[in-house]
Amino acid sequence: MEDGDYVVKVNHPIFSSNDFRNDYYKYFLYGNLCERKYYEIETDNSNYAIFTFYNQDGETFIPSGDVWFWTKKDISKEKLDESIELLPDEGNIVYKSEINDFISNSSVVSINESKEMNGCYKCINPQKPKKLVDCKIEKVSIEDKEELIDLWIQNGKEWKFDFNREDVEKWIINWINNNNFYAYKKENKIICFATYQVIDNYARVEHAYTRKEYRGNGYMANLIFDMTSIILNNNLIPVLQTDINYESSNKSYQNVGYKLEDILIKTNFEKRYIKSL
């Protein structure tokens, strides 16, 4: 089992593969996984890599149930057959949409019909939005904390999540302390905001939200454009992950130059031989 702040920094042969390095940020967009320290790798060092993550409980390591299944583009059927046998018995799996048919029809694993479809976007050449707004980007501060808590709780309600205020306060303080938390304001009221997190040489855009009464007016697109320009000026590559079916959000990103690079699927799986026992 390896130990590192991020798996990409671990000295393992798979991380020298150009094919893997071109893809790893897409998996890292899953924030709850990219910060895990403990995992096991099953790989042939060039065509596939399976990361099984663990949580530490004292001196004991317990499988978290989370699995990354990376495959090289245009991987052969022979290598796919070889790799799928190496999956753990069950868990939550993240894999590329291009191998979905193979996994769905596999005799080795059974997957849940309910799937998350997440688009992986990257921006190299930001495009100024057609609809401009009269706002200037600014960093939020600890003085904005209570307003930000209220807005993020409202965001949770819109997604059917009942957030605890104490938990949200911790999240907001952490995002502010990361020093990459930006907003637009009007008359000292926050209209919209977003953050980014640095992972290796990438900047993951996340936690984007616009007040209901200001939506559809181009505020978020302009904020993302301004923040993306800041990211690029810091010699980082802007990336983000979003539900592929969330059209309004995706359109805001596409309108400022974000291009869809890949689609990752997340679902539950189980080895078929377990079901037959």
| Closest CA relative to residue 7, chosen from 24, 23, 32, 29 | 24
CB under 8 Å, gap of 24 or more: what pairs does 20-23 form? 20/49, 20/70, 20/72, 23/70, 23/96, 23/262
Which pLDDT band holds residue 3 (cuts at 50, 70, 90)?
very low
Residues present in the chain in total: 277
Tokens linked to 249: 């959000």
**What integer pLDDT is reported at residue 265 of this predicted model?**
95
**What integer pLDDT is reported at residue 75 of this predicted model?**
95
Listed by start position, the domains of the chain span 2-118+264-276, 138-257
Which pLDDT band holds residue 35 (cuts at 50, 70, 90)?
low
Q: Over pLDDT 70: what percentage of the chain?
A: 92
Residue 218 backbone dihedrals phi, psi, to 5 degrees: 90, 5
**DSSP letter assigned to residue 241:** E
Which pLDDT band holds residue 28 (cuts at 50, 70, 90)?
confident
> CA 114 to CA 108: how far, in whole Å?
19
Which pLDDT band holds residue 274 (cuts at 50, 70, 90)?
low
Q: What is the mean pLDDT of the chain?
A: 89
Residue labelled with tokens 């317990």 = 62
Which pLDDT band holds residue 26 (cuts at 50, 70, 90)?
confident
**Tens-place pLDDT, residues 132-166:** 999 999 999 999 999 999 999 999 999 899 999 99
**Tens-place pLDDT, residues 242-265:** 999 888 788 889 999 999 999 999
Fold exhibited by the domain 138-257: Aminopeptidase (3.40.630)
pLDDT > 50? residue 6: no
